[in-house]
Amino acid sequence: MITVVASLQSTSPYSPSYFLQSPQDPGETGREYELRVWRERIHRDKQGHVVIPSNQLSRALKTAASYLNIKIPGERNRTFTKHFDSGVRVLRALPLPLKVEDVEGEWLMLHAQPSSTSQGKVPKYMPRIDHWEGEVTYLVFDPKITKDVFYQVLVYSGSQIGIGRWRSSNKGEYGNYSVEKFTWNTE
């Protein structure tokens, strides 16, 4: 197993969109509801600090591997895609030095039903974190994945795929990051 430690830094805002669990109160307007519950969309740890979930970072990497479709040398048309799918894990969520109550939000006109474009748009108050950085630990279990290929996929995941709501792979402008430091540990 190989451990990769990557220092990531945002190059665009990050907007989490965890699903809301609180129902709208009777008589409460949509605007009142949004202002009351919008912070529920923020991923957090038990101490109330903001975290970027490990599955978002993992999904960005695996999506990047699929988009790049890099061929494995000497294996005809086989690519690294499935090797990233099953052979890489993100060890834990990335904690940010930010409390949930310190996050700012923004009003946006978004689809009433995010999975459908047939519904009209409604105002929603969404969290936005303008800057974040931190170290992410990736575990590489698949020996076919090389240091150079991993690095190429990681850089692409930050610049072209992104994380969170309105990320690049969803035709958005948020969720991008750069790789500031990269350590490949084979021990």
Query: What is the domain-level CATH number for residue 72?
Result: 3.30.70
| pTM of the predicted model as reported, rounded to 2 decimal places | 0.93
Q: In terms of pLDDT, which residue wins out, 133 or 119?
A: 133
Question: Does pLDDT of 14 surpass 70?
Answer: yes
The per-residue pLDDT for range 142-167, each reduced to its tens digit, is 999 999 999 999 999 999 999 999 99
Percent of the chain past pLDDT 90, that is, above it, reads: 91
The per-residue pLDDT for range 20-71, each reduced to its tens digit, is 999 999 999 999 999 999 999 999 999 999 999 999 999 999 999 999 999 9
Confidence of residue 121 (pLDDT cuts 50, 70, 90): confident
Percent of the chain past pLDDT 70, that is, above it, reads: 97
Confidence of residue 117 (pLDDT cuts 50, 70, 90): low
Confidence of residue 187 (pLDDT cuts 50, 70, 90): confident
Average pLDDT on 171-180 reads 97
Q: What is the pLDDT of residue 96?
A: 97
Mean pLDDT score of the chain: 95
Domain with 131 in it: 2-185
User: In which element (H, E) is residue 152 found?
Assistant: helix 147-156
Q: What is the pLDDT of residue 115?
A: 64
- Domain tally, the chain: 1
Question: Which amino acid appears at position 59 of this protein?
Answer: R
Q: What is the pLDDT of residue 32?
A: 97
Confidence of residue 119 (pLDDT cuts 50, 70, 90): low
Q: What is the pLDDT of residue 157?
A: 98
